[in-house]
Structure 1
Amino acid sequence: MSYEAWIILTGSLVGLTCGITGCFLILRKMTMLADAISHTVLLGIVGAFLISHSLDGIFMLVGAAAVGLLTAFLVQLLDTGGVQSDASIGVVFTSLFAIGVLLISLFAGNIHLDVDHALMGEITFVPWDTVPLFGVEGVPKAVWMLGFVLCMNLLIIILFYKELKISSFDPAMAAAIGLPVLFIHYLLMGMVSLSTVASFDSVGAILVVAMLIVPGATAYLLTEKLSVMLVLSGVVGVMSAIIGYYAAVWFNVSIAGSMSTAAGVIFTLVFFLSPTHGLIAKKMVRRKYSAEN
């Protein structure tokens, strides 16, 4: 594959992996928790490096998953302790992210981890960082990681689709019929954490947040069926990556920033033009209702 194709494939895998996971965050009204986790995983990555002295993918996945679950646990703990949910997210998010930044400054100054890299990423370097696996040479490490996490997320969604669906739409009913609501909650947080760290090194936290939230929000405006929402979210994520890449080349700007912008543009179009939930459609329904009455 060409240099350009690897970058587009990486961005598309980020859009798919984060997009389908983000649908459940949209339904649960937990999008800001995704923002928090996408930043606090920096602590997990630094911690994994300090323990293992390696930036191999498996160590980063384990470290990020652990800190992602810790973030969700601390937010839940503060929330049940009487602190407002948005304040809980703010306290945990800033505290753990700040600890990660301090650890980078103190112990990881000689490696390629830094705050700017963590926030913006550098997808243009992805094709050069290759890892041979299963006898296949020349495949970027980011593609292997994203492909693995995507397959794992899809497997979890298939195996726990009913539980995820019911607990997302009606958690009280899910608890009443005996579904393990807390387990499903932390399972989803683990999916978010793994999706974040798989995308983190190549595209940075900004694009991760965009892909976790915007494709799902876009799909939410287009359908009322969860299965269709998951497919549409993945399609929007891939479209954002492709359009964003070519726009970045055309205007000579940041690729990750351009992909995030493309996702925002697609959402804006759908927000106005959606046949059921779009702003124009709603105004037309109001006018029709006013005319009839």
Structure 2
Amino acid sequence: MSEVLIILCLIATSTSLLGSLLVLKNQAMIADALSHSVLLGIVLGFFISHSLDSPLLVLGAAVFGVVTVLLIEKIQSKKLAQDAATGLVFSTLFALAVLLISMFARNVHLDMDMVLMGEVLFAPFYRMDLFGISLPVALVKALVVLLVNLAFLGIFYPQLKLMLFDGTQARLQGVPVRQLQLVTMVLVSLTTVVSFDVVGSIAVIVFMVAPSMTALIWAKNLRYLLGMTVFIALLNSLFGFTIANQLDLTMAGACAVVSLGVFILALVSQELSLNLWRKKKS
């Protein structure tokens, strides 16, 4: 069970870090859009491989995750609101996937449940040898994704900070805003799809949004926000894991409920603090 907790914490950390950027840009529902649009990649992967166990299904999902964010960015650049662009793209791709299934794969169990509604409890059963050590494949995937995300944030932190809080100033200073936004969305897509395969869409969407929203209640700068986001994501993972084990519940559901509870507690504590400050000032 320790491997399960490690995998859960790695996924929570990598998704919540990128989720902080999405929340600050009011793009938090990109992860939810990806959970629908990548079904088209799964369908096309099946049509090519004719197998439900082929890695082409996950690869197709990853490719169409990237296609989704590129289309959203392209449509948004035409002065359409981001939420409208997101709704248009994911609903269209999802509908196309459903049509293809109904036309050519009606008798095949082909849907998001088989690839994207992962269960982290099963992750340790699929293993690989790395430098003579037997490790869960999911752990290796999650670690690689986390290292890539950390490298991106570490290298481009000053540019990201300026872009997030003052896009106009960033452009004037020569920051490649468009390219940074594109790379960010591609990383979000790849992180989301890989994480879906390990822990399922519910947990990914929760980890992408809830920790950063909770951290925003108290954070005073971006560095503090990222640090608090990771801490809260790990806290939610630990409590969700413990509750799920003790009560024999689904891990994703437990993490989602815990995340909401922690967010509500943060809101209440902030309100209480403000009331105390107002009373002392008066």
TM-score when normalising by structure 1 = 0.84
Please tell me whether the aligned partners of residues 199 and 252 of structure 2 are also in contact (alpha carbons under 8 angstroms).
yes
Q: Percent identity?
A: 34
Alignment partner of 1:172 is 2:139: no
SS of the residue corresponding to residue 132 of structure 1 reads strand
1:283 aligns with 275
> Which whole-Å deviations, capped at 9, do the CAs of 1:243-272 have from their partners, x for residues lacking one?
111111222221111111111111111122
**Is 1:94 aligned to 2:86, yes or no?**
no
Cα distance in 2, alignment partners of residues 212 and 123 from structure 1: 17
Residues 44 and 228 of structure 1: is their aligned pair in 2 closer, same or farther, counting only changes over 3 Å? farther
| Alignment partner of 1:144 is 2:140 | yes
- Distance change >3 Å, CA 83–CA 227, structure 1 → 2: closer
Residue 7 of structure 2 aligns with an amino acid whose one-letter code is T
Aligned residue pairs, count: 280
2:113 to 116, 124, 143: 116
Which runs of structure 2 are paired with 1:204-283 in the superposition (5 Å)? 204-273=200-269, 278-283=270-275
Match of 1:80 in 2: 77
Residue 188 of structure 1 corresponds to: 184
Cα distance change, pair 174–23 in 1 and its aligned pair in 2 (3 A): same
8 A contact 2:120–2:199 mirrored in 1: yes
Task: Summarize the Cα distance change of 1:65–1:121 in structure 2 as closer, same or farther, 3 Å threshold.
Answer: closer
Counterpart AA for 1:195: T
Hey, what does 1:30 align to over in structure 2? 27
Kindly report the root-mean-square deviation, in angstroms, between the aligned alpha carbons of the 2 structures. 2.6
Unmatched tracts of structure 2, length 5 or more: none
Q: Which residue of 2 aligns with 1:12?
A: 9
Once residues 56 and 229 of structure 1 are traced to their aligned partners in structure 2, the CA distance between those partners, rounded to angstroms, is 39
Letter in 2 for 1:20: L
Separation (CA, whole Å) in 2 of partners of 1:118 and 1:96: 17
Residue identity opposite 1:246 in structure 2: T
Instruction: Give the conservation status (yes or no) of the 8 Å contact 2:16–2:212.
Output: yes
Q: Deviations over 1:207-265 (max 9, x none)?
A: 11100111111121222121222122112112111111111122222111111111111
- Structure 1, residues 13-51: CA drift from partner, whole Å, max 9, x if none? 111110111111111111122321243233334444544
- Judge conservation of contact 1:126–1:202 (CA < 8 Å) in 2: yes
SS of 1:155's equivalent in the other structure is helix
Give secondary structure in 2 for the equivalent of 1:131: strand
Counterpart amino acid of residue 154 in structure 1: L
Change (3 A) 1:115 1:45: closer
Comparing 150-159 and 71-80, the one that deviates more: 71-80
Describe the shift of the 1:128–1:159 C-alpha distance in structure 2 as closer, same or farther (beyond 3 A).
same
Seen in structure 2, the aligned counterparts of structure 1 residues 44 and 32 have a Cα distance that, compared at 3 Å, is same
Cα contact 2:241–2:254 (8 A) shared by 1 = yes
Counterparts in 2 of 1:236 and 1:61: CA distance versus 1, 3 Å: farther
Residue 218 of structure 1 aligns with an amino acid whose one-letter code is T
TM, length-normalised to structure 2: 0.87
Taking a change above 3 Å as real, the CA distance of residues 115 and 225 of structure 1, as seen in their structure-2 partners, is: same
Measured in 2, the distance between the counterparts of 1:204 and 1:128 equals 16
Q: Does structure 1 retain, via aligned residues, the 8 Å contact 2:39–2:111? A: no
In structure 1, the residue matched to 2:122 is: 125
Is contact 2:72–2:82 with CA below 8 Å preserved after alignment?
Answer: yes
